[in-house]
Structure 1
Amino acid sequence: MEIEPVDSHPSETQVERYRRLAAEHASGVGVVCSRYRGKDHAITVTAFADVSYDPPTMLVCLYDMGRMCEAVAASGSWTLSLLSAGQRSVANWLASPGNPVDGLLDSVPFHRTERSGTPVLDGCLSWFELDTVSTHTAATHLVVVGRVTAMGRGEGTAATSRPLVHYAREYKSIG
């Protein structure tokens, strides 16, 4: 077994090694959306999890320096759309740094939730509307825990649709 200690202030080499090793974990791909100051904000995420079934609770990790972090923290309400294999271009677009806020979702089909009016991506496998219950700083990210207030299957998808996954720093599909 190979063991490599990691410094409390890791070198660039250690950071890159960590990224390579962590990329060996396959994860789902989702999009977090929030409505803040009259504008829609959205970003692709791969670090999210269901936390509890009673009450339904999820978490997402957001880069702490990004505008999405401010939008989610300030609005208190957000959605998570779990992407299907056919939504790779959407994942790429919303993962691009420096995207404009104005017109961000102009080329992405979506509808709004009834309660908060937050975007939900059409064609996603499933979606969840959440209210933030707590936030926690963890290194360069903000861990946002939310209570599910609404949920559903994406427009035009079936229970047999394939998910988009992130593995080895690439988007892939299963099957």
Structure 2
Amino acid sequence: MTTDPGSIESAEFRTALGRFGSGITIMSTLQDGIAHAMTANAFTSVSLEPPLVLVCVDRGVRMHDAVLDCGYWAVSVLAGRQQGIAERFAKSGRDLYSQFDGIGTQPGPKTGCPLIEGALSWLECRTWATYPGGDHTIVVGEVLSLGVGDPDDPAALMYYAGQYRALEGKSHRPVL
């Protein structure tokens, strides 16, 4: 076993972490009145008191500077039927001004950041802290407001082993 930090191959790292299923979110912000967004699966809760969450943002994408400049952002947790939205916002280089065309959004009540209509849940946040994380910045946000979507639409969009998958919310088998 080697402990050399440079000995981990990117492809092997991606494959190993691909075995960890994660939910899919859209992170959005406003910079000078222009909406920015990205697909993020590196999202998690941090604390209940105060309510904190985190998202990891690649330092090489335009969303990075936008979210750090604004200081406010939103996260929409995608439903199983919203794979197309996840795919759109995962692509780099899309047109900034038309990226939301055809996607239903509404401004968040506290920040005005776009929230994706039909999402399972959403949160609006104020940046609480940032930390360097290799080629990403770990952005911790204090939750300012939140909401839950239609309880009769429980399928969540997940990412596992390099593929999007819908996970039904109701299980009929006991968990051991």
Q: Which structure 1 residue ranges, 4+ long, deviate > 6 Å from structure 2?
A: none
Alignment partner, residue 112 of structure 1: 107
Letter in 2 for 1:172: R
Alignment partner, residue 43 of structure 1: 38
Pick one of 118, 125, 135 that aligns with 1:140.
Answer: 135
Residue-pair matches, total: 168
Pick one of 89, 95, 109 that aligns with 2:90.
Answer: 95
Unaligned runs of 5+ in 2: 169-176
Letter in 2 for 1:168: A
TM-score (norm 2): 0.91
How much has 1:6 moved relative to structure 2? 5.8
Alignment partner, residue 167 of structure 2: 174
Alignment partner, residue 17 of structure 1: 12
Letter in 2 for 1:169: G
Output aligned runs, 1:54-65, within 5 Å. Answer: 54-65=49-60
1:69-88 Cα offsets, whole Å, 9 max, x none, are: 11111100000000000000
Alpha-carbon separation, structure 1, partners of 2:144 and 2:162: 32
CA change 1:115–1:25 in 2 (3 A) is: same
1:17-63 Cα offsets, whole Å, 9 max, x none, are: 11111100000000000010120000000001011111111000010
CA change 1:138–1:26 in 2 (3 A) is: same
The 8 Å contact of residues 158 and 164 in structure 2, kept in 1 or not, is answered as yes
Identity %: 30
How much has 1:107 moved relative to structure 2? 1.7
Alignment partner, residue 5 of structure 2: 8
TM-score (norm 1): 0.91
**1:9 aligns to what SS in structure 2?**
helix
1:101-159 Cα offsets, whole Å, 9 max, x none, are: 111111211100122211000010000000001101111100000000000023xx225
Unaligned runs of 5+ in 1: none
Alpha-carbon separation, structure 1, partners of 2:92 and 2:76: 19
Alpha-carbon separation, structure 2, partners of 1:37 and 1:8: 40
Letter in 1 for 2:108: T
The 8 Å contact of residues 61 and 92 in structure 2, kept in 1 or not, is answered as no
Q: Does residue 1:164 correspond to 2:161, yes or no?
A: no
Output aligned runs, 1:143-154, within 5 Å. Answer: 143-154=138-149
Alpha-carbon separation, structure 2, partners of 1:108 and 1:5: 47
Q: CA RMSD in A?
A: 1.4
Alpha-carbon separation, structure 1, partners of 2:139 and 2:74: 12
